[in-house]
Amino acid sequence: MRSESEVFASVLIDLAESVRIAPRILPETVGPGGRYRLEELVGIGHDSHVYRAIDLHLSKPDVPALVALKIRSSQSCCRIEAIIGRSVSCEYVVRTLDHGVLEDGATYIVQEWISGGDLGDLVLPMPRREAVGLVSAIARGVQALHTAGNIHGDLKPANILRDASGVPKVADFDMARASDLGDESRGGNVAFMAPERVLKPETPPSPSGDIFALGCMLSYFLTGDLPFGQDFKTIEENHRGGFEPTLRGVGKDLESICRRAMSRDIQARYTSAEMLANDLDRWGAHLPLEWTQPSVGRKMALLCRRHPLRVGLLVVLAVAVIAAGGWARASAMRDLDARQQAIAIAEAEIEAQNMKARETIKSFVNSGAFGNGVRNGASVFETLAWVEMLADTSVLGVEGPLLAREERISNLLRVRGEFASTHQSGGLTDSMAAYSLAYCFLDDGQSEEAAEQLAAARGGVLGSLPETDDARRSMDALGVLIEYERARLSGGPRVSELRKELGRLRREFVWIDSKHSVGRLLQAVLDREPAENRGRPGGGTGSP
C-alpha cells in the first residue's frame, strides 16, 4: 500500500504537469499553416489540455468543421495515443485524425469532435436495457482495440464519450499502450482496475484487465454503486479479502455476466470483450446463457418473453379450432337458450383443454420428456404449443393438423362475428383474431381486407400496448406492408421508399428472431415480382 507521503507527492507531480502546459489565449491558430483554430478549453488532464477547435482547411462557409484538439507534454504518450487511434476503425472508438508538434515544442493530437459529453454524468442506476446496450457497444469498441494489438488500461465512464445520437465511443488512450511499444506499467482509475494491478502495481495493463473494467462499469450502471468501494484503501482491502459485490435486483443472468467479467481469477473471466458483448446481446434478446446451465423452466420463460405475440396467437388459434364446432352448432339453433347452451359447451371444452395444457407443463417439468400424443382437435393446443416452445419451430407452418389459409380466415371471421354479436368486440381475443386476419389477408395478397382488420386490432386492446411491445411493433410493420402493397399495385411514387423501409423492418425482426412470422412475411412480400409481371399474389408463408 502506498504511504500518505507517496500519495501527496503524486498529487504534486500531477499539479506541476498541468501547470507546465499553460492554457492558451483563445482564440489561437496552431498546427501546420495555422490549420486549427482553438475556440474553447473543454477539459484538463494530468498532462494535457483539450480544446474544441475548428479545422480551417475542411470548414465551409457557415459550416465549421469541429474537432477535439489535445495538447500535452509527453511526446511518447501523444505518439502512442495517435498510433492507437489511427490503427482502429470502429464506430465505438473515437477516430484520430492528425497529430504533430507545435512551434513551442508541445505535442498535439486531433480527434473527431464528440458533442454528447461523457458517461461520468449519468443518472444512476440506469434501466437494465439501457445499461446493457451501452456496455455491449463499449465492449465491441474495446474488442476493436484488442484486435488491433492495443490495450486501453484506463476504462471508466469518464473515458467513454457519447455522440449526438447517444452512441458510445471509447476515448482517452492516455493510459493505453500498443503491444509493440514496450510493457511499461501504467496508471489508471483504481475503482475499475483489476485486482492483479491493484495488489501488484508493477503488473502491466492487459486485455483481461479491460474486461474486468467493463464488468465493473456494467455493475456500476445497474446498481449506482462502485462495486469494490470508493477509495483506494477500501478497494485494496476488498480485493485482498476476496470481497464479492452486491448485485441485488439485476436479475440472475445479468448477475452471472457481471460476476464472470469481474472474477478475481483471470482464467475465469471472459476470454474476449466480444464474448462479453455477445452475452449481453443474448440477454437483450431473451436468449439463455448456455454456460450458466439454465433449467428447462428458465429456457421456457425466456422463450415466452421472446415470442409473446406468437404464444398468444396460439391460444387464439386453439379457441378458433376448438370452438368452431360449438359455434357452428349454435348458428343452426333457433332460440337463445340453445345458443347459450352451445357456447357453454365450447367454453367447457376450452377449459378442459387448458387443464390438459397445465398437466402437460407439470409432466414435462417433472420428467424432462414430451410425448407425441394423438394430433386431433381435442389435443391441438397441447401438441402444437409444445412443439412451438420446445423445438422453437413455428407451429403455424407445420403440416398436418393446421387448417388451410382459407379455412383459418373463415374460422377467424366466425370468431370475430361471434364477439360482435355479443357486444364483446375490442377485447384481447377479438383484437388478436383481427391481427391474425390482417396477417392472413396480407399473406393472401388482400391488402384492403388486411387494412380493415388491422384497424380493428389497433382499435382494441392491442392498440393500447406500449410502442416497444412486440405486438405493437408487429402491427406497425403490417401497416407499412399494407401501404407498400397499395402503392405497388397502383404504381404509386412511394414504392421505392416503402420497399427500403420494409427491408429495414425485415432486418430488425430477423435480428430479434430469425423465425419471426412477421419477418418471414416481410421477406415474402419483398420477393414478389412487380405488379406488371404477375397476377394475384399468393404462395403463403404460413400464419403469424
**Contact by Cβ (8 Å): 296, 368:** yes
* pLDDT, greater one: 252 or 336: 252
> In whole angstroms, what is the distance from residue 156 CA to residue 214 CA?
8
**Contact by Cβ (8 Å): 461, 316:** no
Place 336 in a pLDDT band, splitting at 50, 70 and 90.
low
Q: What are phi and psi of 318, to 5 degrees?
A: -60, -45
Distance between start and end Cα atoms, the chain? 63
**Contact by Cβ (8 Å): 501, 460:** no
Percent of the chain with pLDDT over 90: 34
Looking at residue 63, what DSSP letter applies?
A: B
Choose among 284, 297, 291: nearest CA to 270.
291
Give the dihedral of Cα atoms 484, 490, 491, 497; nearest 10 deg: -20
Q: Look at residue 388 and tell me whether its pLDDT is greater than 80.
A: no
Q: For the chain, state the CA radius of gyration.
A: 31
Q: Fold for domain 4-112?
A: Phosphorylase Kinase; domain 1 (3.30.200)
Place 399 in a pLDDT band, splitting at 50, 70 and 90.
very low
Place 512 in a pLDDT band, splitting at 50, 70 and 90.
low
pLDDT at 460: 78
Q: Look at residue 284 and tell me whether its pLDDT is greater than 50.
A: yes
Neighbours of 10 (CB within 10 A): 13
The single residue listed with the C-alpha cell 403490417 is 478
Looking at residue 82, what DSSP letter applies?
A: H
User: What secondary structure, in 3-state letters, does 164-229 show?
Assistant: CCCCEEECCCCCCEECCCCCCCCCCCHHHCCHHHHHCCCCCCCHHHHHHHHHHHHHHHHHCCCCCC
pLDDT at 505: 86
Indicate the SS3 state at residue 245: coil
- For the ranges 221-230, 307-316, 330-339, 437-446, the one whose mean pLDDT is highest: 221-230
What average pLDDT is seen over the chain? 77
Give kind and range of the element (H or E) at residue 69: strand 66-72
**pLDDT tens, position by position, 191-223:** 999 999 999 989 999 999 999 999 999 999 999
Choose among 212, 198, 203: nearest CA to 267.
212
Residues of the chain with CATH 3.30.200.20: 4-112
Indicate the SS3 state at residue 343: helix
Residue 96 forms beta bridges with which residues? 111
* pLDDT, greater one: 155 or 176: 155
Indicate the SS3 state at residue 108: strand
Residues of the chain with CATH 1.10.510.10: 119-291
**pLDDT tens, position by position, 352-371:** 666 665 565 555 444 433 33
> In whole angstroms, what is the distance from residue 544 CA to residue 97 CA?
50
CA 240 from centroid of its chain's CA atoms: 36
* pLDDT, greater one: 501 or 53: 53
- Domain 119-291, classified CATH 3.40.50.300, yes or no: no
What lies within 8 Å, CB to CB, of 60 at 6+ separation is none
